[in-house]
Structure 1
Amino acid sequence: MPNHSVARPLGPAPVFRIDKFVVPAEVRPAFIAQMQRIQHTLRSLPGCLRAHVLNQTGGTGEFNVVTVVEWASEQAVASAAVLVKARFAQEGFDPVAFTKNAGVRSDLGFYGLA
């Protein structure tokens, strides 16, 4: 019987960070602008393969803004976390407070290939 499974490349598995947000209409432009700024920073870090901010344009889901970042490995995620935390501290930016003050609900998580 032939094996139709797709072979995965050897080496570290990519890691995906997918954050979903319910953003009130009145703050959506400012929220998206901030998420785009963050994604721009992430794209410049080693191991970031791609980063996107998605704005819901149709459908019935409750989450209307989604960010997706693909990292080359768990090590890339760990290294980026240190750099991003330092950058946010330097800027005086608190993402948890920003999200809460904007009235945004979120569902945040790391994902791997199934």
Structure 2
Amino acid sequence: MTTEPALALEHCRPLRGSEHLLDLARASALLGCLPGWRIAEAGVLQKDFTFASYAATLLFVNTVAGLAEREDHHPDLEVGYGRVKVSYSTHDVGGLSRNDFICAAKIEALAAI
């Protein structure tokens, strides 16, 4: 079984095509490695983060943006005062891929620091 730390050590790779689309069983198994994350109705991996200040919120957003650039896999971010919703989906495969879970695990590792 894959664990969150193991996922966080992987790197995203370019994926195109539905053969990289995770089925519900595999996505659910990977979801078990990510506390607080959920698969939303639209088949999007999401988590809400809260922060004590706007500055802390922006620091998190900028850190996630740097991670996204490094991995070349970018989430949708909804930002407000003291809150950020992170949403992952791989458009090139038409839903969830392993890359989504890798990046979520990397964010979890950052949030634990």
Q: What TM-score, normalized by structure 1, do the two folds share? A: 0.42
Larger Rg: 1
Structure whose residues are more often strand by fraction: 1
TM-score, normalised by the number of residues in structure 2:
0.42
Per residue, is there more helix in 1 or in 2? Answer: 2
